[in-house]
Structure 1
Amino acid sequence: MESKILKKQYIKLQVWLFSEAKPDPLVFIRVIVGLWMIWYGKDIFIDDWFEERSKTWGEEGLGFSNPILMLYLSKISEIVFGCLFAVGLFTRLSSFILLVIMSVAVVIAQGWKIFPYDRGEITFFYWLFFAAFVFIGGGKYSLDHSLFNRKKYN
Structure 2
Amino acid sequence: MDQVFTKWQPIVLSLLRFMSGLLLMQHGTAKLLGFPSLPMFADLQVASLVGVAGIIELVGGGLLVVGLFTRAAAFITSGMTAVAYFLVHAPKTFMPIANGGELAALYCFVFFYLVFAGGGPISLDKVLFNRS
Q: What band does the TM-score fall into relative to the shorter chain?
A: 0.7 to 0.9
Contact in 2 for aligned 1:77/1:98 (Cα 8 Å): yes
1:47 offset after TM fit, Å? 7.4
Q: Which residue of 1 aligns with 2:104?
A: 123
Corresponding residue to 1:30 among 17, 21, 38:
17
Deviates more, 1:110-119 or 1:93-102: 110-119
Q: Does 1:48 align with 2:39?
A: yes
> Cα offset for 1:106?
1.1
Change (3 A) 1:52 1:91: same
The residue aligned with 1:93 is 72
Structure 1 residue 105, shift from structure 2 partner: 0.8
**Aligned partners of 2:41, 2:47: CA distance in 1, in Å?**
8
Q: Please, what TM-score do these two structures have when normalized by structure 2?
A: 0.78
Deviation at 1:52, TM superposition (A): 6.5
The 8 Å contact of residues 113 and 119 in structure 1, kept in 2 or not, is answered as no
Structure 2 gaps of 5+ residues are none
Matching residue of 1:6: none
**Uncovered stretches (5+) of structure 1, i.e. residues with no partner:** 1-17, 55-66
Q: What is aligned with 1:59?
A: none
Size of the alignment, in residue pairs?
121
- 1:1-154 → structure 2 map (5 Å cutoff): 20-21=3-4, 22-23=7-8, 24=10, 25-44=12-31, 45=34, 46=37, 48-50=39-41, 68-111=47-90, 113-150=94-131
Q: How far did 1:70 drift?
A: 1.9
Report the TM-score when normalising by structure 1: 0.68
Q: Identity rate of aligned residues, in percent?
A: 31
TM-aligned CA deviation for residue 48 of structure 1:
3.5
RMSD: 2.4
Change (3 A) 1:114 1:123: farther
